[in-house]
Amino acid sequence: MALTYTMKGNFFNLYAHRFARVAVGVPRCRVADPAFNAAQTLDLARQAAAQGAALVAFPELGLSAYTCDDLFHQAALLEACERALGDIVAESAGLPAALIVGLPLRVNHSLFNCAVVVARGRILGVVPKTYLPNYGEFYEARQFTAGDATVATHVELAGQRAPFGPDQLFEVADVPGLRFHVEICEDVWVPIPPSSFAALAGASVLVNLSASNIVVGKSGYRHQLVSQQSARCLAAYLYTSAGRGESSTDLAWDGQSIIYENGELLAESGRFLDDSHLILADVDLERLSHERMRQTTFGQSVLRHKAETERFRTTAFEIGLAVDQPLALRRKVERFPYVPADRRRRDERCDEVYNIQVQALVQRLSAIGMDKVVIGVSGGLDSTHALLVCAKAMDRLNLPRANIIGVTMPGFATSGRTLQQARALMRVVGCTAMEIDIRPSCAQMLKDIGHPYASGQELYDITFENVQAGERTSHLFRLANFHNAIVIGTGDLSELALGWCTYGVGDHMSHYNVNASVPKTLITHLVRWVAETGKVGDGSQVLLDILGTEISPELVPGKTDGAPAQRTEQFIGPYELQDFNLYYILRYGFAPSKVAFLALAAWHDRERGDWPEEAHVPRNQYELAAIKRNLGIFVHRFFKTSQFKRSCVPNAPKVGSGGSLSPRGDWRAPSDSEEIVWKADLANVPDTPPDA
376 carries a ligand binding annotation: yes
Strand bridging mode 160-163 / 179-184: unpaired
CA distance 492 to 205: 37
φ, ψ dihedrals at 130, nearest 5° = -85, -50
CA distance 404 to 1: 57
In the chain the first and final C-alpha atoms are separated, in Å, by 32
CA distance 259 to 26: 13
382 carries a ligand binding annotation: yes
498 carries a ligand binding annotation: no
DSSP class of residue 657 equals T
383 carries a ligand binding annotation: yes
550 carries a ligand binding annotation: no
CA distance 300 to 303: 5
Whether 60 is catalytic is: yes
Q: Which residues contact 432 (CB under 8 A, 6 or more apart)?
A: 402, 403, 404, 405, 406
**Positive or negative torsion for Cα 394, 399, 401, 405:** negative
Helices (H) and strands (E) in the chain, counts: 23, 20
135 carries a ligand binding annotation: yes
Catalytic residue among 68, 185, 233, 431: 185
Q: CB neighbours (10 Å) of residue 572?
A: 19
Contact, 656 vs 353, CB < 8 A?
yes
495 carries a ligand binding annotation: yes
Please name which of 224, 137, 216 lies closest in space to residue 188, comparing C-alpha atoms.
Answer: 224
Whether 129 is catalytic is: yes
Contact, 564 vs 417, CB < 8 A?
yes
503 carries a ligand binding annotation: yes
Task: Using alpha carbons, list the distances in angstroms from residue 568 to 388, 500, 501, 574, 661.
Answer: 23, 9, 11, 9, 21
679 carries a ligand binding annotation: no
Please name which of 690, 636, 646, 637 lies closest in space to residue 670, comparing C-alpha atoms.
Answer: 646
61 carries a ligand binding annotation: no
377 carries a ligand binding annotation: yes
381 carries a ligand binding annotation: yes
3-class state of residue 577 by DSSP: helix
126 carries a ligand binding annotation: no
Catalytic residue among 60, 186, 246, 286: 60
SS (H, E, C) 436-455: CCCHHHHHHHHHHCCCHHHH
227 carries a ligand binding annotation: no
DSSP 34-72: HHHHHHHHHHHHHHHHHTT-SEEE--TTTTT-GGGGGGG
Catalytic residue among 129, 392, 594, 628: 129
Chain centre distance of CA 413: 40
535 carries a ligand binding annotation: no
645 carries a ligand binding annotation: yes
432 carries a ligand binding annotation: no
Whether 447 is catalytic is: no
5 carries a ligand binding annotation: no
Within 108-153, strands assigned E span 110-119, 122-128
The CA-based dihedral angle spanning residues 417, 421, 423, 424, taken in that order and rounded to the nearest 10 degrees? 130
The CA-based dihedral angle spanning residues 137, 143, 148, 149, taken in that order and rounded to the nearest 10 degrees? 130
Q: Which amino acid makes up residue 23?
A: A
Task: Using alpha carbons, list the distances in angstroms from residue 26 to 22, 102, 117, 568.
Answer: 14, 12, 17, 52
Please name which of 269, 236, 237 lies closest in space to residue 255, comparing C-alpha atoms.
Answer: 269
Q: Provide the annotated binding site for ATP.
A: 376-383, 490
Active-site positions read 60, 129, 185
**Binding-site residue set for deamido-NAD(+):** 466, 495, 500-503, 645
Annotated binding site: 135, 212, 218, 376-383, 466, 490, 495, 500-503, 645
> Residues comprising the binding site for L-glutamine?
135, 212, 218
